[in-house]
Structure 1
Amino acid sequence: MKEINTAVRTDAPEIMDDFELKGSELRQTLQDLNRVNKLLGGDRISIKGLKKLLSGIDKKEINIADVGCGNGAFLRHLAKWGRTHDYSFSLTGIDANPYAVEIAREQSSHFSEIKYLSIDVFEPEFRNLEFDMVICTLTLHHFKDEQLIELMNYFYDQSKIGVVINDLHRSSFAYRSFQAFCSVFINNEIARKDGLTSILRGFKRKDLENYKKFLPPAEHFISWEWAFRYLWIVKKRII
């Protein structure tokens, strides 16, 4: 069996990086990726991070952005969670793929607290947006180190309270485990290929520890989570 090199992050592209991907192929791939995320507890990890930032915060209207929202599955989950826990959320989903945003709007039509924007995160239009919190789930790994450090600084500047990152742990065991998982649960070729590439584009703890050095002062909480995730919480020092 070929050895998997996880010493450094790969810069191999993912099929989902093509923002022209659309139609039934995009719809099915997003559905399958969300299924994987749900089965492996991804939503739970993101909620855990948000709860850390929400602790001690008034349950007034809280504005949260989900960057790289895909078809909006997590925002719908968050909206339901917020209603159950008496939060007044204003939720904004942001994705560079306009076709994904179309699907998200269609599937979120019964959620008045959610809106969607199709924006490139490196355009001024994005940098001018402000939120209480920014969450980024399985999206940061799509960027090279220099880009993601720039992006994390945008998130820091845009958020009043803090940032939650939920992303993949880069390891050979995670890679082999996902191969086994796909053989049982995932038939979609794009989801299978991109899932494996995503792991190789993921992070080790030392990567996250290094990135935080490039951010302004804040409290950082980095934890490994099942299954093969890192949760990175950046809590701003509110004066």
Structure 2
Amino acid sequence: MFVDTRYRSTEPEIMDDFKLEGEILRDALDKIASINRLLGGNKVTLEGIKYLLSAQPKSAVIRITDIGCGNGDMLRTLADYAKKESLNFILTGIDANNFTIEHARSLSAGYTDISYQCADILKEPDAIEQTDILLCTLTLHHFNNLEIISLLQSFKLKARLGFVINDLQRSAIAYYLFLALCFVFGLNEMSRKDGLISILRGFKRADLISYSEQSALKLYYIKWKWAFRYQWILKQHERKN
């Protein structure tokens, strides 16, 4: 039977339980990060950050906040990039699951430029402090349409330069390819179920355009990227000549 991707699924993921903890969750977080890295997901987000920083002086102190940071892999990637390029990044990760935050902290023990905060941003929108760039990697699909509009309004107010959203394309091809990946990577049952639901809760380009229009976003860009994901960038300010 061919999977129907016409509309976003409303089925919850196991990982949406913010009280979830233990080895199964730790394994899922690390596998998600590994697969995302292998398939070029971190590169997609980094490209967006470079675009938003293109008009900024190299000496500027840049605050970057990652919403739904998971095990912190994206933040560590950014810290390594900043060190290599002699940039000044202050990096913050926010996640609603305390076990996830503690795991991210343990993996980031050697990174003095990364801090973490446990907060449910829907219930605690003020937990997102003013920042230069907001990131949302493989997180937005966890929210329903109305919640997404609310988050975008908050992102606009909080991010001085803009935001970079990197999330899944809702695609039957992606769905069946992920089934193959489950076998190759030996994903546990939770990762397999949540991964398939994530794809069905992902987006079509028309969804992202609709959210942009409803949120009155002006200067935004949506690009399809491998592997079956969208890079969605809001730039708050035009580049000065």
TM-score normalised by L of structure 2: 0.95
CA contact (8 A) 1:68 1:136 kept: yes
Q: Deviations over 1:6-30 (max 9, x none)?
A: 0000000101101111121211111
CA contact (8 A) 1:119 1:126 kept: no
The corresponding residue for 1:172 is 172
Deviation at 1:187, TM superposition (A): 2.7
Deviation at 1:217, TM superposition (A): 4.5
CA contact (8 A) 1:218 1:237 kept: no
The corresponding residue for 1:187 is 187
SS of the equivalent of 1:136 reads strand
Q: C-alpha distance in 1, partners of 2:218/2:62? A: 20
Deviation at 1:58, TM superposition (A): 1.6
In 2 relative to 1, CA 82–212 (structure 1 residues): closer, same or farther, beyond 3 Å? same
In 2 relative to 1, CA 17–166 (structure 1 residues): closer, same or farther, beyond 3 Å? same
Deviation at 1:214, TM superposition (A): 2.1
Q: C-alpha distance in 1, partners of 2:158/2:127? A: 7
The corresponding residue for 2:45 is 46
Q: C-alpha distance in 1, partners of 2:55/2:215? A: 24
CA contact (8 A) 2:63 2:133 kept: yes
Indicate yes or no: 2:14 matched with 1:20.
Answer: no
CA contact (8 A) 1:64 1:131 kept: yes
Which amino acid letter does the alignment assign opposite residue 46 of structure 2? I
The corresponding residue for 1:198 is 198
Q: Deviations over 1:56-84 (max 9, x none)?
A: 11221100000000111110011001111
Indicate yes or no: 2:211 matched with 1:207.
Answer: no
Q: Deviations over 1:140-188 (max 9, x none)?
A: 0000000011001111110000010000000101101111121212331
Deviation at 1:123, TM superposition (A): 3.0
CA contact (8 A) 2:161 2:235 kept: yes
Q: C-alpha distance in 2, partners of 1:219/1:231? A: 14
Which amino acid letter does the alignment assign opposite residue 211 of structure 1? Y
Structure 2 portions without partners, runs of 5+: none
The corresponding residue for 2:144 is 144
The corresponding residue for 1:57 is 56
Structure 1 portions without partners, runs of 5+: none
RMSD of the TM alignment (CA)?
A: 1.4
Sequence identity, in percent?
45
CA contact (8 A) 2:24 2:188 kept: no
CA contact (8 A) 1:105 1:116 kept: yes
CA contact (8 A) 2:64 2:135 kept: yes
The corresponding residue for 2:116 is 116
Which amino acid letter does the alignment assign opposite residue 234 of structure 1? L
Q: Which runs of 4+ in 1 moved over 4 A?
A: none
TM-score normalised by L of structure 1: 0.96
SS of the equivalent of 1:57 reads coil
Indicate yes or no: 2:4 matched with 1:9.
Answer: no
